[in-house]
Structure 1
Amino acid sequence: DHRLPYDPAADVSTQVAQSMQSSLEHLGTDHVDSYVLHGPASGYGWTDDDAEAWAAMVRERDAGRTRLLGVSNVSLRHLAQIAASGAEPPAFVQNRCFARLGWDRAVRAFCAERKIVYQGFSLLTANPEVLRHPRVADIAARRKATPAQIVFRFSQLIGMLPLTGTSDAEHMTQDLASRGLSLSNDEVQAIESLVA
């Protein structure tokens, strides 16, 4: 792929350094706020290549080219293997969150125990059935909010930092306003128990 920000024939550490350099050049800066390992090489566990990439990312951070390091699309197994290896833990985990899979409960618990920020993404697009659920509609009506706002506030109350991306100013304003909503423990439990 001609768009790769690194030489695919290079070793993993070199690829990380090349990717960082490409990002800095394209952004016109000398550092980025966070650097994310988008996903492990295997869905079955943390590989030697993952460990090499992570160590290279730590070197980039130590050199001042980034401030925070995170991982994305990881399982509890991946995180347990990172911890068991003695490697520096990520500052954040960024995972797609599905209601039908318990809102990634096991990974969230692992993160909470270790003070790792859990960032949930695709909270709306991965859970259209939740947005349409009568229970969420009832809560939204009572709270004078949109179903999306209810899902975002729910996610915050169960320990997530919700990630949202929109080019619609009104949606962004609504997303940000979700922080001011109150939900009862019963409402949080009702949403958490929803399954497709």
Structure 2
Amino acid sequence: HLYSEGKTRAIGVSNFHIPHLERILAEGSIVPAVNQIELHPFLSQEAIRDFCRKHGIVVEAWSPLMKGRDALTHPVIVDIADRHQKTPAQVVLRWHLQHDIVAIPKSVTPSRIRENLDVFDFTLSDADMQAIDQLNANVRTGSNPDHK
């Protein structure tokens, strides 16, 4: 209602899986602009990303750094970071960017906020991207929206 009245420019959803998106596309009149989902190298959500891409829905990652867990200490990511002279967090954020995923990492530490912004002066190679892609293990840090 707010969208049709021009009171909002876009509508987004959060934690929508493909069946949820299919339903909203079939029954609704507005395509969501954004689907915010848990997404990081250990939960790459490739099928949802592909679905969203096909329907013009931007994917935004919540917990893009996996809450500082395994994604920042895994040997594959650490090795890539060392080779690029970047931090593991910068490598993971760059991975998101190169997959056209909006990633907004949480931090209250000024030095980490600056570090998180310093991801535009390097590019991960295809081999780097594939190595990180292969880390997917469908590991969640939050709850599964299908099992509430």
Q: Shorter-chain TM-score category?
A: 0.7 to 0.9
Question: How many residues align structurally?
Answer: 137
Q: Give SS of 1:62's match.
A: coil
Q: Tell me: CA distance 1:105–1:126, structure 2 relative to 1, closer, same or farther (3 Å).
A: farther
- Structure 2: tracts of 5 or more residues without a match: 138-148
Which of 96, 99, 102 is equivalent to 1:158?
99
Q: Give SS of 2:37's match.
A: strand
| TM-score (norm: length of structure 2) | 0.84
Distance 1:138 1:64 in 2: 49
Distance 1:95 1:126 in 2: 14
Percent identity of the aligned residues? Answer: 33
Distance 1:126 1:166 in 2: 10
* Alignment of 1:89 onto 2:31: yes
* Alignment of 1:118 onto 2:55: no
Q: Structure 1 or 2: larger helix share?
A: 1
- Structure 1: tracts of 5 or more residues without a match: 1-58
Structure 1 consecutive aligned stretches of length 4 or more whose deviation exceeds 6 Å: none
Which of 85, 109, 118 is equivalent to 2:50?
109
Which of 88, 92, 101 is equivalent to 1:147?
88
Distance 1:165 1:126 in 2: 8
Alignment partner, residue 77 of structure 2 = 136
Return the index of the structure with the highest Cα Rg: 1
Q: Which amino acid aligns with 2:76?
A: R
Distance 1:65 1:172 in 2: 32
The alignment yields a C-alpha RMSD, in angstroms, of 1.7
Q: Which has the higher contact order (CA 8 A, sep 6+)?
A: 2
